């Protein structure tokens, strides 16, 4: 027990065993941190080149999770839950593909494409329809929280008329940078009974008839698999980062405190500035994991 | 108490340096907030902030006549470690 306490003191508190500077802040330890960071960066680049674009996009977003979170928000407001609609999901997927293809970040395309065209072309006849967009978020809950924080998106999510929803999470290059787009399409069928019937019939029809846009179905499935693979890496990496920043700040604070208390004079950087720097980067990390919505 | 006095003493010695750093920290956070979701811009902002941190360190220690290779190395090691870690999140 005493050995453990002594080790912790050695790592965090300036004392004679560490030449009166927290061991975690010695140059050898700082070099190890840099080497680890470089190895992780190289590892991620290697995975990217060997596994295609699976790790090329830092996201942990899945349509299933988005539906759950959307319905949770609606339930909390006393509204009915939305049903997952395959046609709306196809419309959302087409919209995302169109955005990448024509390189725009807007509800309306450069050639005048509207969200409603994608919905109608997927075979969904709507009475009410809506669309929310998001890009470059890391987590599903971040997307839904950002939409809920924006009055217009919130109104869309909590509109009582909607009964169906479809999501697409697509990766591609937008404005020259790797981007993860989330498209959320809402709808209320024009003829509820017919739509419900069509929906029930949709899956066997798609499975039986290869002409009914079969490419979209496997494509959506691949994206979902990609997201599952990412789940294990990015949240863990983010947590490791935050723990590392916290430990570094703690070591700097303790070193700063004891150096002031013991009137230590050292040739070293300014701990106060290191603390401000790491704290600002930590706040920045929280901003970075949030994307933008439209 | 002694810690506060120490901080005050530090600030009084070079108020301009510290005010400059705090101002840049505020602008850094504001810039990331404004350009949320623009990954390339976010990375450029972070890179600029890390560069400023290293340059600030060298400048401050030159002013204080305490510049040493070990000091520069400390700023460079901390700055680049954090840059690489955050880069994976911004531009994997």
Does the pLDDT at position A54 exceed 50?
Answer: no
If you measure CA to CA, which chain A residue comes closest to B66? A267
A36 HSE (CA, 13 A, CB side): 14
Which among A61, A5, A47, A36 has a CA at the least distance from the CA of A226?
A: A61
Q: How much is the pLDDT for A50?
A: 65
* CA dist., res. B29 & res. A281, Å (int): 8
CB A281 within 8 A of CB A245: yes
All residues of chain B having their beta carbon less than 8 Å from the beta carbon of residue A14 are: none
Q: Is the pLDDT of residue B45 over 90?
A: yes
The listed range with the strongest mean pLDDT (A114-128, A147-161, A221-235, B45-59) is B45-59
* Separation between Cα atoms, residue B41 and residue A33, nearest integer Å: 26
A-chain residues within 8 Å CB-CB of B3?
256-257, 260-261
| Model confidence pLDDT, tens digit, residues A258-275 | 888 887 777 677 888 999
Please indicate if any CB of chain B lies within 8 Å of the CB of A205: no
SS3 helix, strand, coil % of chain A, rounded to 5?
Answer: 60, 15, 25
Count how many Cα atoms sit within 13 Å of the Cα of residue A83 in the half-sphere of its side chain.
13
Report the pLDDT value the prediction gives residue A59, as an integer from 0 to 100. 64
Say how far apart CA A175 and CA A196 lie, in whole Å: 39
Supply the pLDDT for residue A257: 86
Please check the confidence at residue A206 and state whether its pLDDT lies above 90: no
Which has more confidence, A169 or A224? A169
Q: What is the ipTM of this complex?
A: 0.95
Contact A167, A66 (CB under 8 A): yes
Instruction: Check residue A167 and give its pLDDT.
Output: 92
More confident residue, A64 or B3: A64
Q: B2-13 vs B15-34: helix axis angle to the nearest 10? A: 90
Contact (CB<8Å) B53/A44: no
Asked if A135 and A182 touch (Cβ cutoff 8 Å), the reply is yes
User: B70 and A287: CB-CB below 8 Å?
Assistant: no
- In chain A, % of residues over pLDDT 90: 26
Query: Is residue A229 within 8 Å of A54, Cβ to Cβ?
Result: yes
Question: Coil, strand or helix: which one is A167?
Answer: strand
Contact A198, A123 (CB under 8 A): yes
As a whole number, the mean pLDDT across chain A is: 79
Taking the CA of residue B49 and the nearest CA in chain A, the distance in Å comes to: 9
Coil, helix or strand at residue A189: strand
**With 50 as the cut, is the pLDDT of residue A221 above it?**
no
DSSP type of residue A161: T
Specify the higher pLDDT residue, B68 or A200. Answer: B68
β-strands A83-84, A164-174 pairing = parallel
Q: B40 and A30 in contact by Cβ < 8 A?
A: no
Apex CA A169: angle with CA A79 and CA A108, to 5°?
Answer: 80
Question: Alpha-carbon distance A180 to A138, whole Å?
Answer: 9
- For residue A80, the 8-state DSSP code is P
Chain B partners of A137 at a C-beta cutoff of 8 Å?
37
CA distance A268 to A256: 11
Residue tagged 């003493």 (tokens): B9
Closest residue by Cα to residue A124 from A111, A113, A112, A115: A115
Q: Do B39 and A136 touch (CB under 8 A)?
A: yes
Interface contact flag, B40 A288, Cβ < 8 Å: no
pLDDT of residue B22: 95
**Residue A196 class from Cβ within 10 Å (0-12 exposed, 13-18 middle, 19+ buried)?**
middle
CA A118 to chain CA mean position, Å:
25
CA–CA gap between residue A112 and residue A92 (Å, rounded): 17
Residues in contact with A198: Cβ distance below 8 Å, sequence separation at least 6, in sequence order: A87, A123
> For residues A25 and A146, is the Cβ–Cβ distance under 8 A?
no
Residue A18 has pLDDT above 60, yes or no: yes
> Which of A35-49, A225-239, A246-260, B34-48 shows the lowest per-residue confidence on average (mean pLDDT)?
A225-239
Q: What is the mean pLDDT of residues A26-30?
A: 91
* Residue A109 burial (C-beta neighbours within 10 Å; 0-12, 13-18, 19+): middle
Q: Nearest-CA neighbor of A182 among A54, A91, A93?
A: A93
């Amino acid at each position: 027990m005493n050995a453990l306490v002594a080790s912790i003191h050695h790592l965090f508190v300036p004392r004679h065993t560490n030449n009166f500077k927290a061991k975690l802040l010695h140059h050898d330890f700082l070099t190890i941190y840099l080497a680890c960071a470089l190895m992780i960066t190289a590892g991620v680049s290697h995975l990217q080149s060997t596994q295609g674009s699976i790790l090329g996009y830092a996201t942990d977003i899945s349509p299933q999770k988005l539906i759950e979170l959307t319905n949770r928000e609606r339930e909390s407001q006393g509204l009915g839950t939305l049903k997952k609609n395959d046609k709306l999901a196809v419309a959302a997927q087409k919209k995302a593909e169109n955005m990448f293809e024509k390189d725009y970040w807007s509800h309306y395309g450069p050639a005048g494409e509207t969200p409603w065209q994608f919905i109608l072309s997927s075979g969904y006849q709507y009475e009410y329809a809506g669309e929310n967009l998001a890009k470059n978020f890391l987590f599903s809950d971040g997307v839904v929280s950002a939409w809920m924080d924006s009055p217009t998106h919130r109104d869309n999510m909590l509109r009582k008329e909607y009964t169906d929803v479809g999501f697409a999470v697509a990766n591609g290059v937008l404005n020259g940078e790797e981007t993860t787009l989330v498209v959320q399409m809402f709808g209320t069928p024009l003829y509820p009974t017919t739509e419900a019937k069509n929906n029930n019939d949709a899956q066997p029809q798609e499975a039986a008839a290869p002409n009914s846009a079969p490419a979209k179905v496997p494509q959506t499935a691949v994206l979902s698999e990609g997201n599952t693979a990412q789940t294990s890496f990015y949240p863990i990496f983010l947590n490791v980062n935050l723990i590392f920043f916290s430990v570094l700040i703690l070591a700097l604070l303790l070193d700063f405190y004891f150096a002031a208390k013991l009137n230590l004079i050292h040739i070293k950087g300014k701990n106060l500035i290191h603390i401000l720097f790491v704290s600002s980067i930590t706040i920045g990390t929280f901003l970075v994991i949030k994307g933008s919505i439209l | 108490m002694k810690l506060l006095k120490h901080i005050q003493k530090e600030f009084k010695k070079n108020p301009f340096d510290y005010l400059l750093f705090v101002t840049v920290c505020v602008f850094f956070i504001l810039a990331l907030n404004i350009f949320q979701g623009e990954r390339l811009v976010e990375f450029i902002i972070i890179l600029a902030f890390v560069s400023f941190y290293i340059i600030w360190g060298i400048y401050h220690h030159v002013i204080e006549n305490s510049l040493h290779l070990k000091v520069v190395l400390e700023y460079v090691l901390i700055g680049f470690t954090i840059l690489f870690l955050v880069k994976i999140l911004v531009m994997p």
